[in-house]
Amino acid sequence: DAGVIQSPRHEVTEMGQEVTLRCKPISGHNSLFWYRQTMMRGLELLIYFNNNVPIDDSGMPEDRFSAKMPNASFSTLKIQPSEPRDSAVYFCASSVSIGEQYFGPGTRLTVT
């Protein structure tokens, strides 16, 4: 079984550029979560979707961040424009409803 798939695994970009992170959840899972992990703040939930609908986006830091889930097998997290303080590891996770969550390998983002 393929787990949660994220791309790219590493992204280095300059301040002001647009960054798009991609996630493919586990087939059959109907909930999808985006997290950010930093040394300073640990793991934080940014947004989660249930049946492709955003349910809670209160963790999205500001308007520069946006997330979409156009279908059950794909989601994107976009940062525009990016800033150095956005540097972090971004994880996508999926689950069946409010059940056990399975995490992807993460995208390590560096904004210079």
In the block, tokens 């520069």 appear at 64
**Cβ-proximal residues to 80 (8 Å cutoff; 6+ apart), any chain:** 18, 19, 64, 66
Binding positions for other proteins, rule: CB under 8 A: 4, 31, 33, 42-43, 45, 48, 50, 55-56, 91, 93, 98-106
For 16, 17, 65, the CA distances from 93, given in Å and listed in that order, are 27, 25, 18
81 vs 105, beta carbon nearer other proteins: 105
Provide the minimum distance between the beta carbon of 70 and other proteins in the complex, in angstroms, as a whole number. Answer: 20
63 vs 100, beta carbon nearer other proteins: 100
Provide the minimum distance between the beta carbon of 81 and other proteins in the complex, in angstroms, as a whole number. Answer: 27
Tell me the one-letter amino acid at 56. D
